[in-house]
Amino acid sequence: MKMTIALAAIAAATLTAGAASAGTMADVQARGKLNCGVTGGQAGFSAPDASGVWHGMDVAYCRAVAAAVLKDPNAVTFVPTTGQTRFTALASGEVDILSRTTTWTFSRDVDLKFSFAGVNFYDGQTFMVPKALGAKTAKDLDGATICIQTGTTTELNLAEYFRKNDMTYEPVPVENNADIQQKYLAGACDVYTSDGSDLASTRSSFKDPQEHIILADVISKEPLGPLVRQGDDQWADVARWTLNALIAAEEFGITTENVEKLSAGTDNPEINRLLGKEGNLGEQLGLDAAWAKRAIAAEGNYGEIFARNVGEKTPIGLARGQNALWEQGGLMYAVPFR
């Protein structure tokens, strides 16, 4: 019943925002600010620092969109959302884009009427346990109490995994990351389950992170990405091609340090099109020729954004893995700019 009511609320909000969603870019430009829905505080993806400045991969993407559309990467209002409130916030028009480690699924695309801009992080659900628990694999978790964030794909994944393996568990439903962390550390649950990146982010904030283990078992596919309301193809194109511009920039070796120089012209026609030296890609999006140049200059290409926020030299310490470029054995590649 709870889920039915939530879906009904989202559907109603979608109908309410329907007329306005047809001109989201015009609304954003008239407002002079991009309203971006994010998590309330997930290190590496979207969290404010002590000065109130937001950082993270999802934050960097929204700054890139703002740079492309408003010519100012700082013209963003970050709106914290929970797993329960994020879709209503997007459907109602409270936010223009949702960049919040959200899994692209059939129902969210088709039933909830959202358009995903692509995948900006390939992930999978796994488990974190205290080292003292002694668990080595997910099969050791039979009968465990498990903290889980409500309103997420992890709830269904968890139920299906335990059912398939003839195991039982006691769920401890929690609404947001901060509460889950508190309950897990207080011993209210034996296990915390979420996307691997979320667990790594959470563990990095612990006083003794080495006392907690993220199990190697991955029980789902979680393609995470930004999304917008359906019914506004122009805005969906801006969201999609901004993401592709960041990935293409890494493929072409375009960085924050050399984007200005390369924008003057190169011997690579696709770089020239991307950076606005040739062709009219910006015009086709309803933007100027330098839209992608500004998006890349905002916080760097995809690789720069990954390394700075969640990479191996950060406290989160994630390897590129599936999020490496296709030429390096990963799944990331940009759609051609032609």
Question: Which residue reads 């991955």 in tokens?
Answer: 218
> How far apart, in whole angstroms, are the C-alpha atoms of residue 271 and residue 337?
9
Domains defined along the chain, listed by start: 22-122+223-328 (3.40.190.10), 125-218 (3.40.190.10)
pTM for the full model?
Answer: 0.89
pLDDT score recorded for residue 143: 96
pLDDT (tens digit per residue) in 249-283: 999 999 999 999 999 999 999 999 999 999 999 99
> How far apart, in whole angstroms, are the C-alpha atoms of residue 102 and residue 111?
15
pLDDT (tens digit per residue) in 18-47: 444 469 999 999 999 999 999 988 999 999
pLDDT tier for residue 309 given thresholds of 50, 70 and 90: very high
